[in-house]
Amino acid sequence: MSHRSKEFAEVLEETKSLFRDVMSVPDNFEIMFMHGGGTGQFAAIPLNLKHTFADYIVTGAWSGKAAQEAEKFIHVKRASIKSDAAYLYYCANETVHGIEFHEPPHSIHGVPLVADISSNFLSRPFDFRHHGVVFGGTQKNLGAAGITIAMVRKDLIGKQLPITPAVFSYKEMQDNNSLYNTPAVYGIYITNLVLKWIRDQGGVEAIYETNLKANMIYNIIDSSNGFYHCAIDKRYRSNMNVCFRIGGESGDDAKEAEFLKGAAERHMISLKGHRINGTDVFSRSVGGIRASLYNAVTLSDTEVLATWMNEFLAKYS
């Protein structure tokens, strides 16, 4: 099917309309379906919002990578909030470290916020106030990999650097209705179906209530007398990615390997967390285990994990 066909044009417009309704995207934001994943936006944002410098709140692996990429195009100030910055960047949910902003940071000088919501896209209601750019890949909560949805405040479009590649230019994407080149047409169709599913579940508010299923896992961790350990401040624990160690704060590799083996026998895979070692606060190993509880993970799925955690705890109690 041609991406220029009448049939796909209808799918594209319906998807955009569904997205605006389900996520409550304000009318002064353009919705664009782009390439390159969230990582591509790490470059696209400083290229499109040209300025002397930008502020970055670095809370983990992904915001750190975003800052590193931006440094190729703009001067980056980490954990700085200045009145003359181009924007204030934050990652709404750090998948590696299990850290989530449950409310956006405060833009004290009215500087536009830029939010990476790739891993908690439509997992809860989102407040667009004070934001200039909100973006995310669809692969976690909105369908298949290959699409990035960028929501850009219209008054910020058209400020791109001359070197900005056309496929990353917000102006080109706006002018061509996301059809500057061939988009991921099948991926957009899948996102269309997922948006209808979210709508039919009762909308993002209902999805958020279901996503509080993460508390089922956190409650087991907190009541285990240190057998399970989560290093993240309770105020910033992620509902999407629950990271923890087994056998105490430093973890016990043998126990974690045994836990993962038992989990696999119970048809639970991909629970092994990222083990990042280093000297800075964000490079320590925060989770030998990582349970990713995205929108598609049901309450009953989560109960399977909770049951296994309780059984494993009882074995060593």
pTM of the entire predicted model: 0.93
Per the model's pLDDT, the better-predicted residue between 137 and 2 turns out to be: 137
In this structure, the answer to whether residues 126 and 158 fall within a common structural domain is: yes
CATH number at residue 261: 3.90.1150.10
In this structure, the answer to whether residues 33 and 53 fall within a common structural domain is: yes
What confidence score (pLDDT) does residue 281 get? Answer: 42
In this structure, the answer to whether residues 191 and 222 fall within a common structural domain is: no
In this structure, the answer to whether residues 164 and 124 fall within a common structural domain is: yes
In this structure, the answer to whether residues 39 and 140 fall within a common structural domain is: yes
pLDDT of 160-173, one tens digit each? Answer: 999 999 999 999 99
In this structure, the answer to whether residues 191 and 209 fall within a common structural domain is: no
Catalytic residues: 62, 116, 140
Is residue 138 included in any domain, yes or no?
Answer: yes
In this structure, the answer to whether residues 114 and 193 fall within a common structural domain is: yes
Three-class HEC string of the chain: CCCCCHHHHHHHHHHHHHHHHHHCCCCCEEEEEECCHHHHHHHHHHHHCCCCEEEECCCCHHHHHHHHHHCCCCEEEECCCCCCCCCEEEECEECCCCEECCCCCCCCCCCCEEEECCCCCCCCCCCCCCEEEEEEECCCCCCCCCCEEEEEEHHHCCCCCCCCCHHHCHHHHHHCCCCCCCCCHHHHHHHHHHHHHHHHHCCHHHHHHHHCCHHHHHHHHHCCCCCEECCCCHHHECCCEEEEEECCCCCCHHHHHHHHHHHHHCCCCCCECCCCCCCCCCCCCCCCEEEECCCCCCHHHHHHHHHHHHHHHHHHC
pLDDT of 256-288, one tens digit each? Answer: 999 999 999 999 999 998 755 443 444 345 569
Question: What range does the domain containing 212 cover?
Answer: 203-315
Grade residue 81 by pLDDT with cuts at 50, 70 and 90: confident
What confidence score (pLDDT) does residue 287 get? Answer: 66
pLDDT of 86-126, one tens digit each? Answer: 999 999 999 999 999 999 998 878 899 999 999 999 999 99
Is residue 1 included in any domain, yes or no?
Answer: no
CATH number at residue 196: 3.40.640.10
In this structure, the answer to whether residues 225 and 101 fall within a common structural domain is: no
pLDDT > 60? residue 317 = yes
In this structure, the answer to whether residues 247 and 118 fall within a common structural domain is: no
Is residue 113 included in any domain, yes or no?
Answer: yes
Domain count, the chain: 2
